[in-house]
Amino acid sequence: MTVRNISLVAILISLFSLQSCVTQYATTTNASSAISLETQYKSDANSLALQKRIEIEKQILISSLTNESNQTSHEAGAIYKTAGKELTSAMAYSADADGLLNEASTFLGTPYRYGGMSRSGIDCSAFVLSVYKNAKGINLPRTAAMQSGEGVSVDKSDLKKGDLLFFSQNGGRISHVAMVQEVTSDGEVKFIHSASSKGVSYSSLNNSYWKPKFRFARRILTPENLALAKTTITENRYITQ
């Protein structure tokens, strides 16, 4: 083989090698591009799925917050409605009690008389039944012992204006009744009654004479009694003025 032929062969080998390298590079480049595109596609798909999941979670959160807000509004409305009823009831009770006490005050100074039922002389139970009848149209029994079974029981710590207080000597039969006139901020219970020593006057459960004789209290100004009184009340007063 001549030198010229050897040179041609070398050139052909170089060209073949160069082509092979180019082909390998192109193949490698195309494969890398394909892998890159596949990875990008998967990344984009994952991103879309994540966005969709976030949107779903957001809608769930918004719905939950809306439901909680509606429930809170409903509960607040119920509380407000209940508080409004309680306030209205308390105001109505206070007005009824004030009516009783205004009537009771007109008897101040009336002398005590056992069995008496007029402004010239009146005993404790007649005083109470007269006030309730005249002011609210509520009928009570004649004696303190019988009146002690009317209305509902009320604890001393929950006394209000107009409640009745019952007393007895040495724990015996109920023999005296009085009406709560005021409960002070420090818990002192003041009442109005017809006492044998002073006639119709004010006193206190802190009084050394009355405190040990107090037995229990009853509330006459109940919704049931007031409703019944409204259906039977007349313009005739129990005691002739």
pLDDT tens figures, 68-110: 777 776 776 767 666 666 667 677 888 999 999 999 999 999 9
Same domain, 228 and 149: yes
CA-based Rg of the chain, rounded to a whole angstrom?
A: 48
Same domain, 113 and 220: yes
Report d(CA 85, CA 226) in Å as an integer: 17
Q: What are phi and psi of 77, to 5 degrees?
A: -65, -40
Structural domain boundaries enclosing 157:
106-232
Residue 239 covered by a domain: no
Which of 130, 109, 101 lies closest to 200, judged by CA? 109
Which of 125, 69, 135, 150 lies closest to 102, judged by CA? 135
Residue 238 covered by a domain: no
Counting residues of the chain whose pLDDT is more than 90, the rounded percentage is 51
Give 157's DSSP letter.
G
Domain harbouring 151, CATH code: 3.90.1720.10
**How many domains are there within the chain?**
2
Read off the pTM: 0.64
For residue 21, the model assigns a pLDDT of 46
Domain termination residue (choose one: 47, 67, 99): 99
Which residues carry out catalysis?
124, 176, 193
Looking at the predicted structure, is the pLDDT value of residue 32 above 70? no
Helix or strand holding residue 150 (H, E): none
State the DSSP string of 102-122.
HHHHTTTTPPB-TT-EETTEE
Higher pLDDT, 233 or 67: 67
Domain termination residue (choose one: 75, 99, 123): 99
